[in-house]
Structure 1
């Protein structure tokens, strides 16, 4: 059974107009609340009369007289920043449709908000503007907050693997089966949100509510555009063709970064927590994978992720070690022998019983369950 992500609960945070109205109706006050990226231009009468003492408005458009009144009444107002291709105060994670808006037009991928945000990042990172740095930090903190709210109570399994894994390969199909198996077992699949193994695992979770024929058909459609080079546009459009043909897919999370902006996010993660800071993204993905992490064959990035996850397990700095499953014995013992080192680290430590090496993706979910 494909898992439903827990409902988000709000106490003092307001992220939609419906929540704004509900808070006023139920509590009669906005005092002490945080309102994030809600267009309040149609709520002037409420803002002119409500108690807003101690409230904070983050990037909320409002009429000038409403803004003047809430400031005078003791609220703190951070106005929207014009001209940005993203909202630094956003209250929710991205959806693929949002990041890829405009993909079907003449401009293709280069016209999408995702590509424009990457262009902004490259430009402002090079000029060292402290204001741009602050905006990136505020954005990433907002994304982390939204991610924590989304995943509260979920059994999250991280799936790590290389971006170079091509559509149409046995490895890609295997990673997709893994994502489907994990989702059907009640886990929430989380990946780095990019192409290759990451896309495949998110695709599998997307396919979980459908019959098995759906995944086979999707893999066949995607194989026509094997990689995101030379054309991200063609690669992404193929994914949206699958989504249009097979709507109502399952939920999963992708956590990509504009730091590697040449690697686009994939369209099969239902929720995308996209960051500017890669270090925040990498640590956050592993830290939130409390039900375990599966490491598919990869290169330097995946090796780094193995030992990024092994370190807190070794020192038990996050509590009980989380399960770690490495897939493909030949890859992790001979090609890139991370397994012998990992096993040596685990000797006489609590993590010893929380690591496993399996031959194929079909064994990974069972290994996780056995260690869970």
Structure 2
């Protein structure tokens, strides 16, 4: 049983329940030496990070609990789970290199640490914490994944179309999940994040003067954060776990592609060190289908990763649609459609894969949001 708030811990202690099997995650355990000590045998209790003063640690250790300490020499908190864009872009006024996002990427590629057992463990704990929070965040929600290339420029008709796709999906009750990066991913997240079509119409021209994150992430991120702040207004940021039922826009980026900064138009960000875990997480949670906008190598990889479970699906399993948008792109420029058709022959996946010309066509193929 995981306990993630002090209120839940207090309730459990007051009920006199056993502490065996509890997982206390990222809590401030100051003043808990006496309550823990009253239980005597603490075997099976696991404390994951948080604040554990010396007197509490002594009680926990004597009682047989397992204590994973807070980690202070990494640029991320491995126990925290989901992020807000404000967390990743803190310090942006001093340039992108000063932000936690940029520092985490530099730490992850440091040649001295890439294969260091301690650093590897920290990254694994971090990604597991993200997955744990992400599962809770999307539980019970209908979700549509939107894939597409990072090179799509703000200010283009294609960017606006991707944003309208995100808006229409969110308006119909879906959570829009993207890879959380720039380009088509940012556009879809933006569309899902805005409250209405008017707000989207206001945001698009404000972003257009900085069309790309290249050659400098800083101005690209600054203008986006200005738009985000205006969209949020004076509303305070709430704990991420309270947003799940109302979430519309979710980004799942990775530091593996550190040259691609995360976009800021997400209710929350699930950022991973492991790209493999991240990609599987996006696809597995897109329970109402996946829309693939034009892209290159990374997008092609995602297409075939999405196709694998469709290919091996049993005859009696309902398959979510996989919709490729841009017939010319997917049949001529990057001709994966012909391969998908060959793979689909005689299999249930033949009914699940589609190639269409427009975002409007894609929307018509997706199921309604689940009640």
Q: Which runs of 4+ in 1 moved over 6 A?
A: none
Q: 1:322 is paired with a residue of what secondary structure?
A: coil
Matches of 1:108 and 1:50 in 2, distance apart?
50
Q: Paired residue for 2:256?
A: 259
TM-score (norm 1): 0.90
1:14-93 aligned at under 5 Å gives the runs 14-26=3-15, 30-50=19-39, 52-90=42-80, 92-93=81-82
**1:286 and 2:263 are equivalent in the alignment:** no
| Structure 2 gap ranges (5+) | 236-245
Checking the alignment, whether the CA contact within 8 Å between 1:353 and 1:371 is kept in structure 2 is no
1:227 deviates by: 0.8
Choose 188-197 or 69-78, whichever is displaced more.
69-78
Return the offset for 1:86. Answer: 0.8
Which residue matches 2:299?
302
1:369 offset after TM fit, Å?
Answer: 2.3
Decide which of 182, 201, 212 is 1:227's aligned counterpart.
212
1:260-279 residue pairs with structure 2 within 5 A?
A: 260-279=257-276
* Cα distance in 2 for residues equivalent to 1:340 and 1:268: 34
CA contact (8 A) 1:177 1:362 kept: no
**Structure 1 residue 213 displacement after superposition:** 1.3
Kindly indicate whether the alpha-carbon contact (under 8 Å) linking 1:354 and 1:371 is maintained by their aligned counterparts in 2: no
Residue 269 of structure 1, CA deviation: 1.2
Structure 1 residues 271-291: Cα deviation after superposition (integer angstroms, max 9, x where no partner): 211111111111221122121
Instruction: Give 1:246 deviation, angstroms.
Output: 1.7
Following superposition, the deviation at residue 340 of structure 1 comes to: 1.9
2:190 alignment partner in structure 1: 203
1:100 to 89, 93, 104: 89
Distance 1:124 1:95, change over 3 A: farther
- The CA deviation at 1:93 is 1.0
Is the counterpart of residue 175 in structure 1 residue 162 in structure 2? yes
In structure 1, the gaps of 5 or more residues are: 1-11
Is contact 2:36–2:60 with CA below 8 Å preserved after alignment?
A: yes
Query: What is the root-mean-square deviation in Å for CA atoms of aligned residues?
Result: 2.2
Q: Deviations over 1:277-318 (max 9, x none)?
A: 111111221122121100001111111111111111001179
The yes-or-no answer on 1:213 pairing with 2:203 is no
d(CA) in 2 for partners of 1:131, 1:114: 20
Aligned residue number for residue 229 of structure 2: 244
Q: Given the two structures, how large is their TM-score scaled by the length of structure 2?
A: 0.90
Indicate conservation of the 8 Å contact 1:156/1:292, yes or no.
yes
Which sits farther off after the overlay, 149-158 or 294-303?
A: 149-158
Go from structure 1 to structure 2 and tell me whether the alpha carbon gap of 1:340 and 1:27 turns closer, same or farther (over 3 Å shift).
Answer: farther
Q: Which residue of 1 aligns with 2:343?
A: 345
Deviation of residue 344 (structure 1)? Answer: 2.0
Matches within 5 A, 1:84-163: 84-90=74-80, 92-104=81-93, 107-123=94-110, 128-163=115-150
Q: Which of 352, 364, 367 pairs up with 1:366?
A: 364
